[in-house]
Amino acid sequence: MNGRPVISALISDVDGTLVTAAKVLSERARRAVADLHAKGIAFAIVSARPPEGMRMFVEPLGLSRVMAGFNGGAYVRPDLSLLEERVLPPEVARRALDFLDSKRVDAWVFAHGRWIIRNPKGPRVDHEAMTVQFGPTVVSDFGPALDAVHKMVGVSDDFDLLARCEAEVQSLLGGSATAARSQPYYLDVTHPEANKGVAVRTMAKLMGVPLEEVAVIGDGRNDMAMFAQCPFSIAMGNASDEVKAKARFVTASNEEDGFARAIERYLLSPDRESAA
């Protein structure tokens, strides 16, 4: 025996990890996942995106297991049929919205299978529509949508403001929600069990893979929760120093095929421990 850990599954973040900044899935990344399948290593994705915003990866990556959207707010099969979900309590959603409004941060709501916004000219609307490949529903008031929120997002191009809001809204909501930035410009507020730490544990169970045999890869602050669950954790080269410090390995950036390189070096190499 060589003492190398057994890895039976890789769970990956999407934006900043699996795809480039332009949201392109490279051919090298696609081949790397195909090589995982050939080796009998399962592959699944977890993202802050809505499940509908992950549909475009099912065919090119041969996804056949569970996918987790909204940081674990919804677990779906590749055909997007629902397995499990976690929604914010309505009173918590309303408190989060009041907080964002008080800070003049644009709020988006993902509920009832829709992306709902009040300001179509707000920051990052066009960017998100390009990313998830569907458009928002524009309303004057969120109304009953707040009764079944999978994810509320505070959106701002003032990154320092959003960083302060992250700590403040988590303090305000306490254990009734999870608040974490998935990108410097997105602050996600989800059910307290809709975070990537819980998501990795749930996905491993749904996939029938022991948690200790799961590798994870990501780039954002919300990915640190899954690093804490899995000893075999990989941070992208484009991650912050804070995120990199929480991972076991660091690969190249998402503009340098860091995702594919990580698979090739750490999961497919005959001597992956020395490669580390």
- How many beta carbons lie within 10 A of that of residue 20, not counting itself? 19
What is the phi/psi pair of residue 202, to 5°? -65, -45
What is the reported pLDDT for 269? Answer: 85
> To the nearest whole number, what is the mean pLDDT of the chain?
95
Confidence of residue 1 (pLDDT cuts 50, 70, 90): very low
Confidence of residue 275 (pLDDT cuts 50, 70, 90): very low
Give the span between the Cα atoms of 144 and 250, in whole angstroms: 43
Domain boundaries, the chain: 9-85+195-275, 90-190
May I ask the CATH architecture of the domain 9-85+195-275? 3-Layer(aba) Sandwich (3.40)
Percent of the chain with pLDDT strictly greater than 90: 93
| pTM (predicted TM-score) | 0.88
Confidence of residue 5 (pLDDT cuts 50, 70, 90): confident
Residue-wise pLDDT for 230-257, tens only, equals 999 999 999 999 999 999 999 999 999 9
Q: Is the pLDDT of residue 49 over 90?
A: yes
What is the reported pLDDT for 274? Answer: 42
Residue-wise pLDDT for 68-105, tens only, equals 999 999 999 999 999 999 999 999 999 999 999 999 99
Q: Is the pLDDT of residue 190 over 80?
A: yes
Burial per residue of 213-235, b for 16 or more beta-carbon CB atoms within 10 angstroms, e otherwise: bbbbbbbbbbbbbbbebbebbbb
CATH class of 90-190: alpha beta
Residue-wise pLDDT for 120-158, tens only, equals 999 999 999 999 999 999 999 999 999 999 999 999 999
Mean pLDDT of 246-270: 96
The token duo for 271 is 């001597």
